[in-house]
């Protein structure tokens, strides 16, 4: 029996929406990989010669950050000229006309990168008025790429990740990731949080890249992640990956927390104090 016209129309709309999301994810992945190839070549060539500071003397920006951002912006200008663009370096915040905006961290984990520590990534997300539609976190040194589109399970290198949350550990067995701010006064407050948290969990990890921390939490390498004073470009892609994996992503004032439902309230209470 033929389907009614309204049913066929609804299915056609869903198919078009899914195709649009796939196109956005393809562009995000292309941009992340292009920037990642550039960054890896520079990383393997040796330490960056020119480094400046941003918010504090411990908050660096290198020529590699800028080169990566320029590469991503150039690709998006060709592929998505009507979209907006927001990125970490050079205060890039360009309005578009399509209702979509690309949110980019061209090199998340700059300190690691500058010290030759291969724990850094490129984060590319595209957002609408309701949040992140699609996101990619690409780690060039490991070759891993984490992707997500709204409403679907996330993927690692094209393979679906398992949905998390049903078998989460108890708090005392949870491995929790975090990071630290560049401002020394904020770090002192973060030390107070760690003093409360460390005796209550299995252990704490600080790897140096917020986007990768979120992606790793989504695939179960960490049980939870929290960090204060992260900007939208640090977390736009990674938070979507966590949400699509079944984790709760919660904002606690200036702190982002990603955890299974069974842990999120107890962790939030400790973090907030």
pLDDT at 12: 45
Q: Return the pLDDT at 171.
A: 97
Annotate 81-131 with DSSP letters as a single string.
TTSEEEESGGG-EE--SSS-EEEEEEEE-HHHHHTT-S--EEEEEEEETTE
Could you give the C-alpha distances from 70 to 46, 87, 241, 244, in angstroms and in order?
21, 10, 25, 29
**Cα radius of gyration (the chain):** 19
Measure the CA–CA gap between 152 and 238, rounded to whole angstroms. 14
Burial profile 239-268: b = 16 or more Cβ within 10 angstroms, e = fewer: bbbbbbbbbbbbeeeebbbbbbebbbebbb
Pairwise CA distance, residues 169 & 148, whole Å:
24
Beta-carbon count within 10 A of 147 CB: 27
| Phi, psi values for residue 187, rounded to 5° | -60, -35
Domains annotated on the chain, with CATH: 5-160 (3.30.540.10), 171-272 (3.40.190.80)
pLDDT at 62: 86
- Which pLDDT belongs to residue 14? 56
SS3 assignment, position 249: strand
Q: Is the dihedral of CA 37, 145, 112, 59 positive or negative?
A: positive
Report pLDDT for 8: 45
pLDDT of residue 88: 84
Pairing of strands 51-53, 60-62: antiparallel
Q: What is the chain's pLDDT, residue by residue, as a tens digit (273 residues)?
A: 556 655 444 454 455 666 789 999 999 999 999 999 999 999 999 877 666 666 666 657 789 999 999 999 999 999 999 999 999 876 567 889 999 999 999 999 999 999 999 999 999 999 999 999 999 999 999 999 999 999 999 999 999 998 986 677 999 999 999 999 999 999 999 999 999 999 999 999 999 999 999 999 999 999 999 999 999 999 999 999 999 999 999 999 999 999 999 999 999 999 998
pTM over 0.85: yes
Cα 224–chain centre separation: 14
Q: Write down the pLDDT at residue 146.
A: 98
């Amino acid at each position: 029996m033929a389907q009614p016209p309204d049913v066929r129309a609804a299915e056609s709309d869903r198919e078009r929406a899914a195709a649009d999301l796939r196109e956005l994810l393809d562009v995000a992945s292309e941009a992340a990989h292009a920037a990642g190839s550039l960054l890896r070549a520079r990383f393997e060539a040796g330490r960056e010669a020119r480094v400046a500071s941003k918010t504090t003397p411990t908050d660096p920006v290198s020529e590699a950050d800028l080169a990566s951002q320029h590469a991503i912006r150039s690709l998006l200008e060709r592929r998505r000229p009507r979209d907006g663009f927001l990125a970490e370096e050079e205060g890039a915040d360009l309005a578009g006309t399509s209702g979509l905006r690309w949110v980019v961290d061209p090199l998340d984990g700059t300190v690691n990168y500058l010290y030759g520590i291969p724990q850094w990534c490129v984060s590319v997300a595209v957002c609408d008025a309701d949040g992140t539609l699609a996101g990619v976190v690409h780690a060039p040194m490991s070759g891993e790429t984490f992707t997500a589109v709204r409403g679907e399970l996330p993927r690692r290198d094209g393979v679906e990740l398992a949905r998390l949350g049903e078998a989460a550990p108890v708090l005392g067995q949870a491995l929790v990731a975090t990071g630290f701010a560049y401002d020394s006064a904020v770090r002192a407050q973060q030390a107070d949080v760690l003093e409360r948290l460390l005796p209550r969990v299995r252990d704490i990890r600080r790897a140096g890249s917020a986007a990768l921390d979120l992606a790793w939490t989504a695939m179960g390498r960490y049980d939870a992640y929290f960090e204060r004073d992260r900007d939208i470009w640090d977390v736009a892609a990674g938070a979507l990956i966590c949400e699509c994996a079944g984790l709760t992503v919660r904002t606690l004032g200036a702190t982002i927390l990603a955890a299974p439902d069974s842990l999120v309230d107890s962790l939030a209470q400790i973090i907030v104090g």
